[in-house]
Amino acid sequence: MKWIKGLLINVQFFTAIPLPLELPMDSMHLKKAIQTFPLLGILQGALFSTLLWGLTEWSPFSQLAIAFLIWCATILITGGIHLDGWIDASDAYFSFRDIHKRLEIMKDPRTGAFGVLSVLLLLSSRFLFIYEIVKMLQPETYFAISLIPFFSKSVLGGVLLSVPSAKKEGLGALFQAAATFSSLWVYLIYFGFVFLFLIIMKIDFLVLPLILFLVSILGYLFLRRKIVKWFSGITGDLLGASVEGIEWLLWITLWLLHYFVMV
């Protein structure tokens, strides 16, 4: 039951899905929330893949229209919560100020030019990747798309519990106080089940999820090092930016794989 409540906490915090429940926010339930980050990701990914399959098989829409609807879904399902972090983190980083000033900029509710430009680049390039992936769609593509939020939410948990907090208050500090890095052992079970499922389903292109997994690990190692260097530690905004950054990296990886490997 605690695992279910932990997952529901994630739905309330990280999606735009209305969930009119009053859930406990004690350390035990927040720990379960962290341990179920990947489950939230796989649910989101399954939604994107199912929507793509339904539009491709049953709708009269063009590939451009289908890509646009999938692109919209990747934004609307989260309510833009991670994009907000991306914008604030971009404003802070591209100010090229000292760490203390960067943290102050992230707390500023106003959006600067760097934040606007960075989110435009992020979203427009994601649309390009999705559109061309839809044009080159293969059966393995559906499974790969479902894994993108799964891996990004796994990285979210890893960054949250392995990088020190830059401040004592906020969403990041709230979750971080509830668990330690050793709490993420369950992520290995999730990864094992995912790859076992792919083997049982006799997915021919197992190298695809393996490459996405490897890219996610590299992205995690990069974030773990650079967040401390650039900001002295994590904040809620940086966690949101991390999710968006990893998903962008996985989308571009999948796009390139369709061009050079899945041909």
Angle at 74 between CA 73 and CA 75, to 5 degrees: 90
Q: What is the DSSP string of 58-78?
A: H----HHHHHHHHHHHHHHTT
- Residue 166 is predicted with a pLDDT of 84
Please check whether residue 172 is in contact with residue 160, taking contact to mean a CB–CB distance below 8 angstroms: yes
pTM: 0.95
- Residue 213 is predicted with a pLDDT of 96
Mean pLDDT computed over 57-63: 95
181 φ, ψ (degrees, to nearest 5): -60, -30
**Is the per-residue pLDDT at 174 higher than 80?**
no
Residues 6+ apart with CB under 8 A from 258: 132, 133, 136, 138, 141
- Residue 107 is predicted with a pLDDT of 86
In percent, the amount of the chain with pLDDT more than 90 equals 64
Q: What is the CA radius of gyration of the chain?
A: 18
Task: Tell me how crowded residue 27 is: count the other CB atoms within 10 A of its CB.
Answer: 13
**Is the per-residue pLDDT at 170 higher than 70?**
no
| pLDDT band of 52, cuts 50, 70, 90 | very high
Please check whether residue 146 is in contact with residue 49, taking contact to mean a CB–CB distance below 8 angstroms: yes
Report long-range pairs for 119-124 (Cβ below 8 Å, ≥24 apart). Answer: 119/83, 119/86, 119/87, 119/90, 122/83, 122/86, 122/244, 122/248, 123/71, 123/75, 123/83
**Is the per-residue pLDDT at 197 higher than 90?**
no
Q: What ranges in 169-235 are assigned the alpha helix state H? A: 171-176, 185-200, 207-231
Mean pLDDT computed over 1-10: 85
**Is the per-residue pLDDT at 58 higher than 70?**
yes
Average pLDDT of every residue of the chain: 91
**Pairwise CA distance, residues 186 & 17, whole Å:** 25
Dump strand ranges (E) for 37-164.
Answer: none
Q: Two tokens at 139? A: 């059966």
Mean pLDDT computed over 6-21: 87
The model's pLDDT over 86-113, given as tens digits with 9 standing for 90+, comes to 999 999 999 888 899 998 888 888 888 8
